[in-house]
Amino acid sequence: MDPAEEPPSMLWGLDPVFSAFARLYVRDILQMTESIQVPGIYFYNKHPIYKVDVLGTVVYKRERDDFFCYGVDDGTGVINCLCWKSDLLKEEGGPTKWSKHSDGAQGGFNPVAELEKLRQAQQSRCHLEIGEQLRVRGRVKTSRQQREIMASTFYKVNDPVMAVQIAWMMEVPQLYRQCYDKPFQLQPDETGDSDISSLSKATNIIRDFIKQKSVAKFRPHDVQDLLQPLISSQPQTTSADQEPVAGPSGCQQLRQLLKEVLQILQDEGTVFRKVKSQDEVYHVTAQDKDLLIAVKDIISEDSKREKYVDKGCHILHILSAVRHCYSLNVSKAALEQVLKSLECNSEIVSTSDNHYTAF
């Protein structure tokens, strides 16, 4: 990354990826560029990253007195993982050493024997052979011009039916699409700073109003006055000779700002228009009881059909049915909010990422 494009280190904490163990492919971990400002911090699509979470197959191993060294292959590349041994694994002598201290514990709870069982269990989870599955979490480090992971947590994954690997393969591409492949915009453009700030503030104002007042539906003129202070507080643009520059009036700015806010709320599924007409009525998704009942009934009925009895109803099937029986204007984002609400209330359950069935 060009040093000029690297975001200031004071702003890295604004990116949620910075505080998380990033589930990146090994290929991308090996190709990440290191920060010029702070060595040990790396960038993927301008996301600052210093710790990762990897699942893969052990393709080589080395053991020393204090650590294991495993080569982990996730299908995109191989990375070296340095896994330090715990004190239990470094103990020598095994039960023969400890048995002489446990004579008084015969016939009851034997802490030494239990400690030995714990040591053996930990050893079985930490001592892997080539071909076994290993999950590693830890910091990324460059040592001798090679990228490696200094493990803070590692363990063998017992996955005889490959359920863990399949779940991982389904989840990681979604994380890339939804987060990693979208560059985090830490600083808006200077030309649009005030507009972005006003739009963000206006969206939060309407969102807070809907939540606090438990609004079920509203019209634009019902909430328009809430945004008036944002328009009034904007500085007047003037030319060099202090004459006002021609531009949209306050009312026009207010209407345009409200239009953009409502579009954002529709895109995220917070509101939707049940009927598109000249009388603009926006329904709040979380407060629309009829929509929740309609979605619940569709899942309850269709999940009994032979086609959906095993896996449940796909979200696109539910969306099509809702649009057919309730409203053509229900978006997928709005439906996802309804499904999340029903699942939180234990009225439905997700059988996979996109399938739902009734209890």
What would the pLDDT profile of 281-299 be if each residue is shown by its tens digit? 999 998 999 999 999 999 9
Residue 329 clears pLDDT 60, i.e. is over it: yes
Look at residue 216 and give its three-state secondary structure. coil
54/146 Cα distance (integer angstroms): 17
Closest C-alpha to 285, from 340, 352, 227: 340
Q: Tell me the pLDDT tens digit for each residue of 56-106.
A: 999 999 988 888 899 999 999 999 999 888 765 555 544 444 444 555 445
Instruction: Supply 215's token pair.
Output: 């609004």
Residue 240 has pLDDT above 60, yes or no: no
Indicate whether 201 pLDDT > 70.
yes
* Three-state DSSP class for residue 69: strand
Report the C-alpha gap between 40 and 67 in whole angstroms. 21
Mean pLDDT over all residues of the chain?
83
Report whether pLDDT(279) > 80. Answer: yes
What is the predicted pLDDT for the residue at 78? Answer: 96
- Whether the Cβ atoms of residue 293 and residue 273 lie closer than 8 Å to each other: no
Q: What is the pLDDT of residue 20?
A: 92
State the pLDDT at residue 59: 96
What pLDDT, on a 0 to 100 scale, did the predictor assign at position 149?
Answer: 95
The percent of residues in the chain predicted with pLDDT above 70, rounded, is 84
pLDDT in tens, 205-223: 998 888 888 889 999 988 8
Query: How many CA atoms lie within 13 Å of 141's alpha carbon, on the beta-carbon side?
Result: 14
Phi-psi sector, 122: left (phi>0), alpha (psi -120 to 50), beta: alpha
> What is the rounded average pLDDT of the residues 10-29?
92
pLDDT computed for residue 25 by the predictor: 96
End-to-end CA distance of the chain: 51
| Residue that has been written with the tokens 């080589």 in this structure | 60
What gap in Å lies between CA 78 and CA 156, rounded to an integer? 17
Q: Are strands 313-314 and 355-358 parallel, antiparallel or unpaired?
A: antiparallel
Residue 168 has pLDDT above 90, yes or no: yes
Contact 335, 315 (CB under 8 A): yes
Q: How far apart are CA 94 and CA 113, in angstroms?
A: 10
Q: Which residue is listed with tokens 């009312």?
A: 251
Tell me which of 31-35, 82-86, 301-305 is least confident: 82-86
Domains of the chain in sequence order: 3-92+114-180 (2.40.50.140), 190-236+247-285 (1.10.10.980), 288-358 (1.10.10.10)
- Its pTM stands at 0.50
pLDDT, residue 26, reads 96
Q: For residue 175, what pLDDT is reported?
A: 93
The string of DSSP letters for 22-44 reads B---HHHHHHPEEPSSSTT-EEE
Distance CA 284, CA 269 (A): 9
Element of type H or E holding 134 = strand 133-143
Positive or negative, the CA dihedral 310, 313, 315, 317 is: positive
